[in-house]
Amino acid sequence: MPDDGISYTVCAERLVSFTRKTCAAIRYTVTSSAPAGSTLSVKIVSGIDTTASNISAEEDPRVGAKFSSRPLIVDSSAAENGTLSFSAHTRNSGLPLYGTVIQSVSAGGKQVSPVKAETDGGPHEEYAFQLEPGESAVLVKFISYDISSAEDSIENAVSFARAGFMQAENEQREYLSRFWKTAYMHIDGNIEDEKAVNFNTFHLLQSAGKDGRSSIAAKGLTAEGYEGHYFWDSEAYACPVFTYIQPDIARALLAYRAHILPLAEERAAEMSLKGALYPWRTISGHETSAYYPAGTAQYHIDADIMFALNKYLTAAGYPPENSGQLTEKDICAMAVETARMWMSLGSFIPEKGGRFCINEVTGPDEYTACVDNNAYTNLMARENLRISIKIAEKYRAASDAEIAQWKKAADSMYIPFDESAGIYPQDDSFMAKADWDFALTPPENYPLLLHYHPLVIYRHRVLKQPDLVLAQFLLSGLFSRAEKIRNFLFYEKYTTGDSSLSHCIQCIAACESSDIPKAESYFNKTVRMDIEDINGNTADGIHTACMAGSWMAVVYGFAGFRDYGGSWSFNPQLPGTWRNLSFALRLSGMRLELYFTKERASYTLRAEDTQTDGGLKELTLTHRNIRFTLHDGETKEFDLRPAVKAVLFDLDGVITDTAELHFRAWKSLAEKYGLSFDRSISSRMSGRSRADSLDLMLAENNASWTQKQKDAAADEKNKIYVDSLSTLTPKDILPGIAKFIGALKEHGIKCVLASASRNAPLVLEKLGLSACFDAVADPSQLQKGKPEPDIYLKAAELSGEWYTDCVGIEDAQSGVDAIKKAGIRAVGVGRNLRGADILVSSTEELSLNVLAQETH
């Protein structure tokens, strides 16, 4: 309200056109609320501000450039009769920029002419008029920015103005209606989550290049953080989103990489490499990173690009030769030249058994730089080579001899693995570093990169983001679920979250670990990163990859979508507040509609807008472990409620009690070698493998044995134990177990043994129960014993049932922990078993009714 007490309202409408590449429009409406008999005096100054300067943040390398002078030089400007224009160029590179505004003002339904026109500070015009009570004034601006010529800028603005604001609205509405038909996510039960996810998706849409000559900047189009540059996350995070909701944009983003391939070849030559090395940070195609350990050393960008390309080709199909963007020639060139880069970067190293190694590289985690055999890099390089092999063989794009070398490198790629921990180390040196002291790091010292020298960070076990966890998500079919759970939990404790890219990947990993509350926590950090300014730096621009990550967290996380290896599967698990989730994906030119509640999953195929030339309009999918085919217009539903379809049994303490036999065998061994052994040590061996039990006994005696001595002693203990099994008979079955197993078989419920004992089949035979069990998990084939989940996940797999439809029964804490880590419901036999879903005091209490308690 102005000082004279006369009130008015201002309505501002803005749009940046999705259909007219260079154009935008603004409409301001001023309405007078003056009392009868009075008028509102209005002055409007409308123009183009050509004096805008860049932001500066000397202490933060992530923010804008440190220009000592204004980079945009204005060559000319004009303002005349509602037309404003300027011509400019950048100070150093000479890049041109032309701008035009066609503007008009009306008041009370009549056109108003400008009273003044000036060019100081940028072309602008001044309008002055009066409004009667209830009257409105409208300022409309049609804007065009162009880099080709001043004439094109003027022509585009004039054409847009002739179409009018209503036409601009209609064009925008029609475009967005088509986009949201697939892209919109409905989340019933949490409207804030729904709004936040779709807000992020919209920002992705307006930030993405669509012309095949531009990509998507780390900060979108919102501010100057990272100077508008593109990074590897354009392909690793944003491109997959568009692959499934707007494939033509994904295609354009990939066409940009094809467009800059010649510069990538120049960069490879500069780095003494063959083929093409894409820049880690760029706009034009030239490498602009000033810090090579966290920049150029990230060679993985080649693999990230090829992985995104392969995902697009698998989901959308190979483009026709005359498509204009991303032709078969482009695809072949990218495949061949990236493969050649990897072959010249890596080497077959005799000290690594002749394996193909890649040294002095940096993975996505920028807190670990210039290392040998970064697991993410090697895994993705292998994937790149295999993608290149497939493309080169399909199109005869390389010689048989060269392809054979690619195959040799891919097949012999060295992937670090730590057998004792059962995890994939991030690189060759990671496990030999000291842990970062998180307890003594104050909250204000995050992100670490702003408070500690890089060398301090590099020599510690600390992560900006967990790139091995990212690798096992992208290459999901190459890792067992047990490995994924173990790697996620191992790296989680070292991950600072200083990178906004980490939270969505950890959300997805938590979902795969069946820890939905933890997944929700990571999801909230992802989806609200910018809308709530969680990292306190949204003023520098949005986090586009993190915004893409919110879509990924829903689709790959809570919906459980997996797309590795050319097949598509789902394992939905909704967060607590969500009643249902619905969204759509574009697959093979068709729209797959998905609807999930906590009780059911629904899949519907719509092929009305596909171009299949009379071909089959169908998709083959997998719901959990059920493979099915959908035809056009067909819907299939599946029950998500947990059922009891398989029971996974421990052996000792659940089916029989061989603890005394084990105790005597260990006691005999200990006495032979002069070691102390009692029932306290024996009780802690429960659920452990033979090797782990021996290590425990040796540790209690401060004894250090060679591996050869351990192997011999373990075999000796086993022989003593096996000899004692001859005394077992069906009378040694624990009370109630025979009756319980009989009831399970009568109701068609499968029985699988999940024992750490390698003698379990022999024990079952002696007990007369072999025929009652559908399968026996072999502990010798597993990476880790209890309390790791390997054996229960294997038992569930052997049952042929999904793990949520299984129940595990254990009498030891390590066994219950293993069951729960596997995401399986646990029945504990005995007392004080933490985490068990059901506790019974003895095996006599086991029944179908007891199991049913947990299914409702």
Round to whole Å and give the CA distance between 550 and 524.
Answer: 9
Nearest to 183 by CA among 167, 194, 171: 194
Q: Which amino acid is at 108?
A: G
Q: Residue 734 gets which letter from DSSP?
A: P
Count of Cβ atoms closer than 10 Å to residue 2 Cβ: 10
User: Which residues, including other chains, have CB under 8 Å from residue 409's CB and lie 6 or more apart?
Assistant: 342, 343, 346, 348, 356, 382, 385
With tokens 């990859």, the residue in question is 545
Helix ranges, 117-246 (H)? 150-183, 191-207, 233, 239-245
Q: Which of 421, 469, 477, 482 is nearest to 823 (CA)?
A: 482
- Amino acid sitting at position 409: A
Between CA 180 and CA 194 the distance in angstroms is 13
| Joined tokens for residue 35 | 């009392």
Unique residue bearing structure tokens 């940070």: 281
Q: Using the 8-state DSSP alphabet, how is residue 35 labeled?
A: P
The β-bridge partners of 597 are: 580
Q: How far apart are the first and last CA of the chain?
A: 61
CA-CA distance, 753 to 773, in Å (whole number)? 7
Q: With beta carbons less than 8 A apart as the criterion, state whether 331 and 313 touch.
A: yes
Give 614's contacts (C-beta < 8 A, 6+ positions apart).
none
Secondary structure (H, E, C), 782-844: CCCCCCCCHHHHHHHHHHCCCHHHEEEEECCHHHHHHHHHCCCEEEEECCCCCCCCEEECCHH
Whole-Å CA distances, 553 to 231, 592, 634: 20, 18, 27
Which of 366, 383, 520, 810 is the catalytic position?
Answer: 366
* Burial zone of 853 (CB within 10 Å; 0-12 exposed, 13-18 middle, 19+ buried): exposed
How far is 644 from 851, CA to CA, in rounded Å? 7
H-type helices in 434-590, by residue range?
A: 454-458, 467-474, 481-492, 502-512, 516-527, 544-552
**422: region left, alpha or beta (phi > 0 left; psi from -120 to 50 alpha):** left
Place of tokens 């102390």: 676
Q: Is 366 one of the catalytic residues?
A: yes
| Dist CA 634 CA 185 (whole Å) | 21
> In angstroms, rounded to a whole number, what is the distance separating the alpha carbons of residues 548 and 507?
13
Residues in the chain: 856
* CA–CA dist 590, 578 (Å, integer): 27
| Amino acid sitting at position 339 | A
By DSSP bridging, strand 635-639 and strand 600-606 are antiparallel
What pairs with residue 631 in β-bridges?
Answer: 618
Q: How many Å apart are CA 451 and CA 391, to the nearest integer?
A: 46
Q: Strand pairing partners for 826? A: 808
Contact of 141 with 49, CB cutoff 8 Å: no
CA dihedral 169, 175, 179, 185 (to 10 degrees): 10
| Residues 828, 245: Cα–Cα separation, whole Å | 46
H or E, element range at 142 = strand 136-146
Cis peptide bond N-terminal to 447, omega within 30: yes
Q: Are 753 and 777 in contact (CB under 8 A)?
A: yes
The residues annotated as belonging to the active site are 366
